[in-house]
Amino acid sequence: MDFETTLITWLPIIFFGVVIVLLVYTMRFMPRAKPAPVVKGSQVEVSWDDVAGLDEAKEELQEVVDFLRNRKRFERLGARVPRGILLHGSPGTGKTLLAKAVASASGANFYSASASSFVEMFAGLGAARIRKLFEEARKNAPAIIFIDELDAVGASRTGGGFHREHDQTLNQLLVELDGFNARDEVIVMAASNRIQDLDAALLRPGRFDRQVNVAPPDVAGREAILGVHTRDKPLAADVDLDKVARQTAGLTGADLANLCNEAAIFAARSGVQYVRFTDFEAAMERIVAGLQQRRVVSDKEKRILAYHAAGHAVMSHLVGDLFPAQKATIVSRGQALGYTFNTPAEDRYLHTREEFVDLIMVFLAGRAAEQIVFGRITNGAANDLERVTDIARSMVFEFGMSEIAPSRTMRADNYALSEETKRLRDSEQARLTDHAYDEAQRLLSKHRVSLDRVAEALLEKETLDRSELEALLADVRPESRSSETIGTVRALPGRD
C-alpha cells in the first residue's frame, strides 16, 4: 500500500475514533437523567460521648436535637427554630463528627456533601445537585444536611464572568434555604474555616444565622480526645494521656485520632500485648514529621504565646470592665491571637476618646508583654496591629478625636486637605498609637507580677475562662485612664 491509500483507509477511522472519545468525554460532564449521587441519607451512629471536648458547641447543638425530637413544644410557643447552622473551625476539629452526633441523637437521616463537589464545569449541574439533595432530605425528614467546605460555593459572589457556575450554585443554595417552611424537619449544618470570606447573603436571618465555634482542643480537650480514641485499645500502665496531651499542643482531633492509631500499630508491630508510652512517643514523632504546616508548638513558643495572651488579659482588666476578657488561650485559632473579649457590657453607640484609647491599649498589650518579658517582638501581633491601626485612623480621620483638629474630619478622600494637614494628621495617628504602646508597656511592667501569674496559669491550662481570670487578677485594681495624659496639643496651622 502506498501512502495515499493508507491515509484514505485510516483517516475516517481516526476521525470517528476522535469523535467518539470526545463524545464520551463530554457525556461525563452532562447532566444525567439521574443526577450524580450526593451521599445517600443514612442513619449514623455517633454518640455525644464520641465527641470529646467541644462542650460549648455540644451544648448549643443540643438545642437542635431538642427541636427535632420535640418539634411540637417549640411550635406551640411560636419559637422560630434554627434552619441553618454554621460550624466554624479549622479542618479536623470535629465538625463532621458533631453534625453526625446531632443526626444520631435526634434520629434524623444524615445527608452529607462537600460543597466543592457542587462546583462543576457545566452550567446548572451544581445547582441541580443542591436541588436534589434538599429534595431527598425533605422526603426523608427529619434530616440533617451537612455541607462541608461551604466556602467552595459560598465565597463572596464574583459578579459574572468565569464564575457564573459558582454563582448559580450559590443562588440555588439560597433558594433552598429560603424555601424551607415551618413544617420541614430539615436542618442544614455547614462547615467552614473562613466565615469572613462567605457571601453575606448566606449569613442573613433565616439562613446560616447561627454560628457555632468549633475550637481546636486545649490540653484538657486533647486528653479527652485521646481518651475517646484509646477506649478500644489496651493501654500499658505507663501510658499517661495527660502527658501525651501536654506534648501535642497544636494538634487537632483528627491528628490525635491518627496518633492513637499509629501508636497501636507500633505496638502491634513490636508484638506486645499493650500499647506503651514509647509507642505513643514513636507515633508522635511520625505524626509531627508528617504535618507540614501545623506543627507541635514548642515550649519556647508556648511561653511567648502565654505572655502575649496574658498581656491582653491583664490590660483589659486594668482599663476597667469596659472590655471584659471572656477567655484567654494559647491554643491558636488563626485569628487575633489568644484572646477574646466581649464588646462593652452595656450596649452603647457612643464611646469616648478615652475608651477608644483603652481599647487600643488592650490590643497592643500582647506585643507590649512580649517586649517586656523577652525583649523582642514577634509577628504574633499582626492582627492586633491591624485593629489598632483601624481604630486610630477612625479616631483621627473621622471622629475628630485628634487634638490637632477636634472639630472636623480629615478623611483620606478629602482632596481639599493641604499636604501639611495630611502630614500632621498622619503623625497624629502615629503619635496616638505610639503613646498607647508606651503606656501599655508601662502598665504591664508595673503589674509584672500579675502578668507572670496569668502567663503561668496559661502555660498550665492553655485556656482560662472569665472566672479563672477574675480570680487570678482579684487583687489588681483597675488603673485610671491613661489616655488623659496623652501628649500635648499641636495647633493646626491656618486653614487649608
The C-alpha cell at 158 is 464574583
Nearest to 429 by CA among 406, 384, 386, 395: 395
Per CB under 5 A, contacts with Zn ion among 309-368 are 337, 366
**Minimum CB distance to ligand ADP smaller for 95 or for 276:** 95
Cα(187)–Cα(68) distance, integer angstroms: 9
* CB proximity list for 403: less than 8 A, separation 6 or greater: 428, 487, 488, 489, 490
**Minimum CB distance to ligand ADP smaller for 89 or for 154:** 89
Q: Which of 64, 105, 215, 228 binds ligand ADP (CB under 6 A)?
A: 228
Cα(412)–Cα(381) distance, integer angstroms: 25
Per CB under 6 A, contacts with ligand ADP among 238-257 are 253-254, 257
Work out what residue 41 binds among ligand ADP, Zn ion, none; the CB cut-off runs from 5 to 8 Å by kind.
none
Q: Which of 44, 51, 337, 396 binds ligand ADP (CB under 6 A)?
A: 51
CB of 80 to ligand ADP, least distance (A): 27
Report CA 329 to chain centroid distance, whole Å. 14
Work out what residue 96 binds among ligand ADP, Zn ion, none; the CB cut-off runs from 5 to 8 Å by kind.
ligand ADP
Burial class of residue 4, CB neighbours in 10 A (0-12, 13-18, 19+): exposed
Per CB under 6 A, contacts with ligand ADP among 71-100 are 89, 91-97
CB of 351 to Zn ion, least distance (A): 21
Q: Is 331 in the site for ligand ADP (CB under 6 A)?
A: no
Cα(367)–Cα(341) distance, integer angstroms: 17
**Minimum CB distance to Zn ion smaller for 153 or for 440:** 440
Work out what residue 384 binds among ligand ADP, Zn ion, none; the CB cut-off runs from 5 to 8 Å by kind.
Zn ion
The C-alpha cell at 11 is 483517516
**Minimum CB distance to ligand ADP smaller for 197 or for 390:** 197
Q: Do residues 314 and 453 touch, judged by C-beta distance below 8 A?
A: no
How far separated are the first and last CA of the chain, in Å rounded? 92
Strands laid side by side in the 325-329 sheet: 339-341, 325-329, 463-465
C-alpha separations of 476 from 317, 319, 386, 441, 453 in Å: 8, 11, 29, 17, 12
CB of 152 to ligand ADP, least distance (A): 14
| Amino acid letter, residue 279 | D
Q: Which of 41, 44, 53, 133 binds ligand ADP (CB under 6 A)?
A: 53
Cα(369)–Cα(372) distance, integer angstroms: 5
Q: Do residues 374 and 382 touch, judged by C-beta distance below 8 A?
A: no
In 115-201, which ranges are E strands?
143-148, 186-192
Task: Determine the longest span between alpha carbons in the chain, in angstroms.
Answer: 103
**Minimum CB distance to ligand ADP smaller for 163 or for 194:** 194
Cα(422)–Cα(428) distance, integer angstroms: 10
Three-class secondary structure of residue 144 per DSSP: strand
Cα(436)–Cα(451) distance, integer angstroms: 18
- The backbone torsions φ and ψ at residue 210, rounded to the nearest 5 degrees and listed phi first, read -115, 135
**Minimum CB distance to ligand ADP smaller for 53 or for 126:** 53
Question: Which residues, in sequence order, are bridge partners of residue 275?
Answer: 235
Work out what residue 366 binds among ligand ADP, Zn ion, none; the CB cut-off runs from 5 to 8 Å by kind.
Zn ion
Binding residues with ligand ADP: total (CB under 6 A)? 18
**Minimum CB distance to ligand ADP smaller for 95 or for 425:** 95
Work out what residue 305 binds among Zn ion, ligand ADP, none; the CB cut-off runs from 5 to 8 Å by kind.
none
Binding residues with Zn ion: total (CB under 5 A)? 3
**Minimum CB distance to Zn ion smaller for 129 or for 312:** 312
**Minimum CB distance to ligand ADP smaller for 94 or for 366:** 94
CB of 256 to ligand ADP, least distance (A): 7
Nearest to 128 by CA among 35, 25, 50: 35
CB of 284 to ligand ADP, least distance (A): 17
Cα(286)–Cα(263) distance, integer angstroms: 10
CB of 247 to Zn ion, least distance (A): 25
Cα(94)–Cα(256) distance, integer angstroms: 11
Per CB under 5 A, contacts with Zn ion among 383-412 are 384
Work out what residue 216 binds among ligand ADP, Zn ion, none; the CB cut-off runs from 5 to 8 Å by kind.
none
Q: Is 225 in the site for ligand ADP (CB under 6 A)?
A: yes
| DSSP symbols for 338-398 | TEEE-S-SS--S---HHHHHHHHHHHHHHHHHHHHHHSS--GGGHHHHHHHHHHHHIIIII
For ligand ADP, which stretch binds (CB under 6 A), given 12-20, 47-55, 230-238, 417-425? 47-55
Work out what residue 84 binds among ligand ADP, Zn ion, none; the CB cut-off runs from 5 to 8 Å by kind.
none
Q: Is 136 in the site for Zn ion (CB under 5 A)?
A: no
**Binding stretches for Zn ion (CB under 5 A):** 337, 366, 384
Q: Where on the chain is the footprint of ligand ADP (CB under 6 A)?
A: 51-54, 89, 91-97, 191, 225, 228, 253-254, 257
